[in-house]
Amino acid sequence: MSRIETRCVQGGYTPKNGEPRQIPIIQSTTFKYDTSEDMGKLFDLEASGYFYTRLQNPTNDHVAARICELEGGTAAMLTSSGQAANFYAVFNIANAGDHVVACSAIYGGTYNLFAVTMKKMGIDFTFVSPDCTAQELDAAFRPNTKALFGETIANPALCVLDIEMFAKAAHRHGVPLIVDNTFATPINCRPIEWGADIVTHSTTKYMDGHGSGVGGAIVDSGRFNWNRYAEKFPGLTTPDESYHGITYTERFGLEGAFITKATAQLMRDFGSIQSPQNAFLLGLGLESLHVRMQRHCENGQAVAEFLAGHEKVAWVKYCGLPGDKYYERGQKYLPKGSCGVVSFGVKGGRKAAEAFMKHLKIAAIETHVADARSCCLHPASATHRQMSDEELLAAGVSPDLVRLSVGLESKEDLIEDLDQALRAI
């Protein structure tokens, strides 16, 4: 199957004669075998098959295979959340004593995971500006650096990552580029085509698309040559004594080593699995991802243009607006559109932003983003409420900032609702 629309609908699952048309939910923790020898081969990773859902489940594997086809990778896995996906993707190759370079414009949860929790595990992070030069990026690398990390479209800063430049820098230093592609989705950008090696997702957002299940995914491009930098990545290129002495790159090749190791070691030990029920819902969401993203972008663009022209709006951030700081990068990496998330400032600061949101009738106040129903958040009075106005500015969240996630409702209704709420301030 070649085109992305067809992959959304039919990727990852091809039923044989008489089998279910829809991906079946295999709601079973275990799988039965006739002999201990049969099962032993699975444990030794000599035969492929299922034995325990913490490691693998057919429903999850079909849905992971669909996401793999969408991103153009060679192997993929689902995780219980986007947080688990980013943790596994980095921890699969970075251990205590190692170092990782990450773009500073990333999701707050990922920032905490890296700067606080993984730091406690002995992994050091250096954060670089999304607008850094190639020289500044080079200067952040150390001999023990194991990966470079960024988000295609940063949540909530809405910066667009220069994926090509970041990929080249990662490869100059012999490490993979990991890109969190949650906001763009593979419909609008496929980071592997721009040189990224590993792609992660919070499938909780547009992929599920209906606010129904928390989940994550990791996709490997199969293109990073672990063997060439074998001394940097011993976990992939030397025998795993916790897995009967298997060497992942030898047994599974460059196309399968990364995901097999993350499944066999990290999923075995941490157990952040997605439930087959949630994987089924995610699979349903993917079937309309191409149709929904188009509409999210159309509505997002219309709302951003309306806000940019409104007298009560101080500023708007949306890379589809000519004049936006990331407009050119958006045209390069996101020619079909970016996403439905728009950030803007209401004139009158914190009080005006709060008053505006109180008057909204369609967009609900939620910490969520990226689903069918429009929603909005005023970080200064919610997620960042403990901060003073000065601290907010330092964190890049101005007191007047409203993050609006534009859903799939009528854009005329949304604009009328925004207009009446702005006028009511």
Chain contacts with ligand PLP (rule: CB under 6 A): 81-83, 107, 109-110, 151, 155, 180, 182-183, 202, 204-205, 214, 216
Would you say 236 or 376 has its CB closer to ligand PLP?
Answer: 376
The residue with its CB nearest to ligand PLP is 82
| Least gap, CB of 47 to ligand PLP (angstroms) | 33
Task: Closer to ligand PLP by CB, 56 or 204: give it.
Answer: 204
Nearer to ligand PLP, 105 or 421 (CB): 105
Q: Which long-range contacts (CB under 8 A, 24 or more apart) does 134-138 make?
A: 134/165, 134/168, 134/169, 137/101, 137/165, 137/166, 137/169, 138/169, 138/172, 138/173
Q: Which is nearer to ligand PLP, 170 or 178 (CB)?
A: 178
User: Which is nearer to ligand PLP, 207 or 352 (by Cβ)?
Assistant: 207
Q: How far is the CB of 84 from ligand PLP (least distance, A)?
A: 7
CA distance 366 to 350: 17
Phi, psi of 404 (to 5 degrees): -110, 125
377/422 with CB nearer ligand PLP: 377
Distance CA 315, CA 332 (A): 23
Q: Please, which residues bridge with residue 125 across strands? A: 100
Nearest alpha-carbon partner for 371 in 288, 305, 301: 288
The distance of closest approach from Cβ of residue 110 to ligand PLP in the complex, given in angstroms and rounded to an integer, is 5
Instruction: Count how many Cα atoms sit within 13 Å of the Cα of residue 412 in the half-sphere of its side chain.
Output: 0
Q: Name which of 82 and 176 has its Cβ closer to ligand PLP.
A: 82
Nearer to ligand PLP, 58 or 216 (CB): 216
Nearest to ligand PLP of 56, 83 (CB atom): 83
Which H/E stretch holds residue 423?
A: helix 411-423
Q: How far is CA 182 from the centre of its chain?
A: 3
Nearer to ligand PLP among residue 114 and residue 252 (C-beta): 114
Report, in Å, the least distance between residue 417 CB and ligand PLP.
24
Q: Of 156, 195, 201, 158, which Cα lies nearest the Cα of 177?
A: 195
* Residue closest to 360 by CA, chosen among 340, 339, 346: 346
CB 377 within 8 A of CB 403: yes
Question: Residue 305 Cβ, how far from ligand PLP at the closest point, in Å?
Answer: 24
* Least distance between ligand PLP and beta carbon 37 (Å): 40
- Asked if residue 102 lies in contact with residue 126, where contact means CB atoms within 8 angstroms, the answer is yes
Least spacing, CB of residue 147 vs ligand PLP, in Å: 16
Task: Please report how close the Cβ of residue 127 comes to ligand PLP at its closest, in angstroms.
Answer: 15
Shortest distance in whole angstroms from residue 245 CB to ligand PLP = 34
Asked if 90 contacts 117 with a C-beta cutoff of 8 angstroms, the reply is no
Cα dist from 257 to 150, 211, 246, whole Å: 22, 32, 11
141 vs 128, 138, 148, 161, 228, CA distance in Å? 10, 6, 9, 18, 18
Closest to ligand PLP by CB, 236 or 377: 377
- CA atoms of 88 and 199, how far apart (whole Å): 12
**Residues belonging to the chain:** 425
Task: In angstroms, give the least distance from the CB of 351 to ligand PLP.
Answer: 28
Query: Using CA atoms in the order 77, 78, 82, 87, what is the torsion angle rounded to 10 degrees?
Result: -50
What pairing do the DSSP bridges indicate for beta strands 364-365 and 375-377? parallel
DSSP state, 264? I
Give min distance, CB of 151 to ligand PLP, in A: 5
